[in-house]
Structure 1
Amino acid sequence: MKKRNGLFALISLLAILFYAAAADSRGKPQSNNVSRYLVQYSAGSYQELQAFIHQKGGQVIFDYSTLISGMAVDLSATAVKELRRSGLATSIEADSERTQHALPGNYPLLPFEEFVPWGVDRVEADQLWSSAANSGPADNGVAMPEVLPGSVTGNGVVVAVLDSGIDYGHPDLMDNILDLRGDGVMRDFLDGDEDPTDATGNGHGSNVASVIASVDNDVGVIGIAPEAKISPYRVCDGTCPLSAIIAALVQAVLDDVDVINMSFGGTAGFNIEASAIQAANRAGVILVASAGNEATQQPSFPAAYDTVLAVGATEFGDAPADFTNVGGWVDITGPGVHIPVATCRGCGRFAMMMELSPMARMLSPVAMEGTGVATVAGTEIVDLGRGCVASQGDVYNSDPTGKVALIQRGACSFAEKVMFAEQAGAVAVAVFNNVPGNFNGTLGDFTAAVPAASLSLEEGQLVQADIASGVTLVDISVVASDYDTVDGTSFSGPHVAGVAALILQVAPDSSPIQVRKLLEKNAERLGPKVIFGNGMVRADKSVSAAQ
């Protein structure tokens, strides 16, 4: 909503020239004798500091000078000691990594007729733009949305998503992505180029963007602010280097964004990160970050900085999510459990399983993270027992060659169970729980070639009993999906970022502190502040108060 002035345009041009010159060195330092450091310096020492770095054989990786007096550099330990003694630097910190705040093991979804996700409905965002009947927070968003022309949708507001990149071609995202590829400006701070596409199938950035601004297009899901624009910056691929995060903050401010969402964090704060956060706030940007998933009161950064809105998570019924961080530093709460989202196309995995004989029953599998994608039809399933061949010396109860393997959870990793069953010739693997209910399983670093899914204890025991009575045939399939259901404060934070975008549409000149006050004052109180902060973010009340 803000207007970029001529100075910002000039600074942007200078940034383009700098980044283009060093775009081949964004990854980790190439030499074992060199490490990456985050350096702040006093006014007037910029040129001398650069000369020192080059003299010592180092390299400036990111120049943050358009926002703060700082840079990321690769230097040897000896050179860093000399730099500390030189007086040129006011702060020298080793680069660090933040962690994305999503939990492993999702429930992928197949394409479906568009609906309002329960989180969008719970914060009453759809009250602002939907013509469909809304019976309040409990209606679970089942109505087919119909966005009213001229309603409050986040139109004209730009939300930066600092994350794993984005799937530009996803039908639920493409119309709302601010596509600046081709302008020569770096926005992928891992590969060092201008294309922040999710190149590795992480999906996290697309998930986050979906919560904020999935479009109204009759398929999939709809976001909190379905006409806001998303400006993506790639800083994460599993972990998120702090040097890249700060570079993205710098560029997001240069790009004149209105809101920045950061769904990652770590337990330590850093001087240079705090400086960049404060500078972005002074530039008028609203900063939102997830509180973290460690179920602790220990602060997570960047969420715990004073100028960032720290967002905890709730589940259905407004109970705090069992993973959410809490404490006096948490400002507000948003939905963060079983959130339906768009993900990178084909990145989701959806499992289906049916017993054909001796009983015909539909089962409810959950695809494991790392599963193969395939369909196995009318195939015998055999009981292998625990399947811990390597670590426990287990011997299979049956030969799984050409068959589906049924294995019970426990005693070793899912990866071991699936990998050895696959190597023994199994064409699919179903791991059933050792306690009531189903579970989300991950194969870790192992990627299976065959379908791998989990079953509840109850369903596993039914199939096991049928196997004991004779030949049992099943269909099992894992298919790729463009949608997921995700958990974590990674997704409660974007609910708040989306509501901030709605506020800025009706009150475009609002300062970050004014937006914060609107969000906190109009939040729905749920319980103790140490757990919920100011309560559940409410789009309807916050926007009404802003008008």
Structure 2
Amino acid sequence: RALTLHQIKAAWERLPDGSRAGAGLKIGIIDTGIDAKHPAFSGEGMTAPEGFPKVSSEAFLGATNGKVIVQRSYDALNRTEPSIVDGAGHGTAVAMVAAGGRVGSQFGEMLGAAPGAWLGAYRVFGGVAGDEGSTAALLQALDDAVSDGMDVVNMSLGFYPPYREAIDPMADAVKRAVQMGVMVVKSVGNEGPDIASVDSPTVAGVGITVGSVQNDRAFAEAVSTEGLGDLLAVASTGTRPAEPVRGRLVDITGADPSGLACDPIPGESLRGAVALILRGSCFFSDKLRNAEAAGAIAAVIYTHAQDPIPFTMDVEDARLPALMVGFESGRQLKSRLAESPSTDVQLTFFPTVAFPLRGTPLSSFSSRGPTLEARISPDLVAVGQFLSTAAGTAEPLGAVYDPSGFLVAAGTS
């Protein structure tokens, strides 16, 4: 979606082959590494340019291909175990946004801004979860990226509180890189909404600092039915089926006039159905156990007018899959059942259904200027909230991890 908001797709239409946008460009990602085995970086149809691949160890050659043409790691400077694995997943996510190839995901098709570009991985954060780094590693990585011939270098990293430019160890290195023709891009930081919250390292007034705006849609769980479309929902702490659950929606007031399901529900009145239950008077776990005992395959719990916003239900050890919807959505479902008692619903238990948002305001977490030198910052903003991208799959402790290889992320990176 961000590609459309930023007119990137419109720019592609001016090219002979938009899927090859960025061809010939080399983008260096100074970060936690890039997982070259991720399908977004398969390099299908691409060939590394002459003189590549470049690696910091012969052992890393297997982690390069026609797309990812550099794999350098700075474990000696960081005093971490030698590795090229992206333990955090952060670098993989950033690389997807910059130049990921066309790939399918649970959120739909994904494609980076410059899918035809080559990528260089400069892994400055090591350790199991990719959270151990050093200024020495950053300086060496920037020098290496320039020496390797990267056209653009991205540094989605930062330290807060910031240094003044005069004592920032990165300032001169960034200036030298820019003087040598390299475009240096850096995230402004995630210390907003306070003013003067831009983090270090500075790009010394010569690079490009980028902040985050909200996307015009967000992903969430949903209750979907004909006539009402997708209704925003929130999953419980309990069972979350990987695939959507489909079934006939039944308002339990036919068997339990209170609609609360706090007491046993007669017989098998909910056999094979999705139970519609009102919040209140007893524990969520009791409601779900009673619905399950009556034969329900799932439950939709709607909240009341006094507290109309849905939230995550703590269902303890109850096994019945359940979603919560808001008061207005619950009222709409009841009205739908009154009109059509045989209404079927689909329950999606993972945040893969898109819901529109109003406008694209600056993200609350995005750092604001001015800098300590009174410069305006950020220079640019781009979608960085409710953004679907690639994720790391190597380390569950990683900050940007999902076993599917994709997730919805937020940040100025």
Please, what TM-score do these two structures have when normalized by structure 2? 0.53
Alignment correspondent of 2:208: 309
Aligned equivalent of 2:318, options 424, 429, 433: 424
- Contact 2:102–2:111 under 8 Å retained in 1: yes
Counterparts of 1:465-476 in structure 2, within 5 Å, are: 474-476=345-347
User: 2:176 aligned with 1:282, yes or no?
Assistant: yes
Alignment correspondent of 1:509: none
How far apart in 2 are the matches of 1:413 and 1:354? 16
User: 2:162 aligned with 1:269, yes or no?
Assistant: yes
How far apart in 2 are the matches of 1:353 and 1:263? 36
- Contact 1:186–1:195 under 8 Å retained in 2: yes
Q: Cα distance 1:536–1:266, how it changes in 2: closer, same or farther (>3 A)?
A: closer
Alignment correspondent of 2:93: 207
Secondary structure of 1:474's counterpart equals: strand
How far apart in 2 are the matches of 1:301 and 1:369? 37
Alignment correspondent of 2:276: 382
Counterparts of 1:503-518 in structure 2, within 5 Å, are: none
Secondary structure of 1:172's counterpart equals: helix
How far apart in 2 are the matches of 1:404 and 1:303? 50
Aligned residue pairs, count: 302
Alignment correspondent of 2:118: 229
Which amino acid is the alignment partner of residue 141 of structure 2? Answer: Q
Alignment correspondent of 1:337: 215
In the TM superposition, residue 351 of structure 1 has moved relative to its aligned partner by: 4.6
Counterparts of 1:410-449 in structure 2, within 5 Å, are: 414-415=311-312, 417=313, 419-420=314-315, 423-427=317-321, 429-433=322-326
Q: Cα distance 1:473–1:400, how it changes in 2: closer, same or farther (>3 A)?
A: farther
In the TM superposition, residue 350 of structure 1 has moved relative to its aligned partner by: 7.2
Secondary structure of 1:382's counterpart equals: strand
| Percent identity over paired residues | 17
Alignment correspondent of 1:260: 153
Alignment correspondent of 1:172: 40
Q: Cα distance 1:216–1:373, how it changes in 2: closer, same or farther (>3 A)?
A: closer
Counterparts of 1:92-103 in structure 2, within 5 Å, are: none
- Contact 1:355–1:362 under 8 Å retained in 2: yes
How far apart in 2 are the matches of 1:369 and 1:425? 10
How far apart in 1 are the matches of 2:355 and 2:96? 10
Alignment correspondent of 2:224: 354
Counterparts of 1:39-54 in structure 2, within 5 Å, are: none
Q: Cα distance 1:209–1:467, how it changes in 2: closer, same or farther (>3 A)?
A: same
- Contact 1:381–1:473 under 8 Å retained in 2: no
Alignment correspondent of 1:182: 60
How far apart in 2 are the matches of 1:369 and 1:407? 12
In the TM superposition, residue 480 of structure 1 has moved relative to its aligned partner by: 9.1
Q: Cα distance 1:266–1:217, how it changes in 2: closer, same or farther (>3 A)?
A: closer
In the TM superposition, residue 209 of structure 1 has moved relative to its aligned partner by: 1.7
In the TM superposition, residue 154 of structure 1 has moved relative to its aligned partner by: 5.3
Alignment correspondent of 2:13: 130
In the TM superposition, residue 460 of structure 1 has moved relative to its aligned partner by: 3.4
* CA displacement, residues 111-137 of structure 1 (integer Å, 9 cap, x when unaligned): xxxx9822441xx5853x5347xxxxx
Secondary structure of 1:477's counterpart equals: strand
Q: Cα distance 1:148–1:475, how it changes in 2: closer, same or farther (>3 A)?
A: closer
Alignment correspondent of 2:197: 299
Residue segments in structure 2 that go unaligned for 5+ positions in a row: 62-70, 248-272, 367-374, 383-413
Alignment correspondent of 2:141: 251
Q: Cα distance 1:230–1:245, how it changes in 2: closer, same or farther (>3 A)?
A: farther
* CA displacement, residues 483-535 of structure 1 (integer Å, 9 cap, x when unaligned): 99999989x99xxxxxxxxxxxxxxxxxxxxxxxxxxxxxxxxxxx96x7666
How far apart in 1 are the matches of 2:356 and 2:95? 14
How far apart in 2 are the matches of 1:290 and 1:351? 30
User: 2:11 aligned with 1:118, yes or no?
Assistant: no
Alignment correspondent of 2:68: none
Alignment correspondent of 1:158: 27
* CA displacement, residues 230-261 of structure 1 (integer Å, 9 cap, x when unaligned): 22336389997473575245234324344332
- Contact 1:303–1:310 under 8 Å retained in 2: no
Alignment correspondent of 1:104: none
Structure holding more helix per residue: 1
Alignment correspondent of 1:344: none
In the TM superposition, residue 268 of structure 1 has moved relative to its aligned partner by: 0.6
- Contact 1:214–1:222 under 8 Å retained in 2: yes
- Contact 1:387–1:395 under 8 Å retained in 2: no
- Contact 1:117–1:221 under 8 Å retained in 2: no
Q: Cα distance 1:154–1:303, how it changes in 2: closer, same or farther (>3 A)?
A: farther
How far apart in 1 are the matches of 2:278 and 2:40? 42
- Contact 1:158–1:228 under 8 Å retained in 2: yes
Secondary structure of 1:374's counterpart equals: coil
In the TM superposition, residue 380 of structure 1 has moved relative to its aligned partner by: 1.5
Q: Cα distance 1:368–1:190, how it changes in 2: closer, same or farther (>3 A)?
A: farther
Which amino acid is the alignment partner of residue 173 of structure 1? Answer: F
How far apart in 2 are the matches of 1:355 and 1:125? 32
In the TM superposition, residue 275 of structure 1 has moved relative to its aligned partner by: 0.7
Q: Cα distance 1:241–1:249, how it changes in 2: closer, same or farther (>3 A)?
A: farther
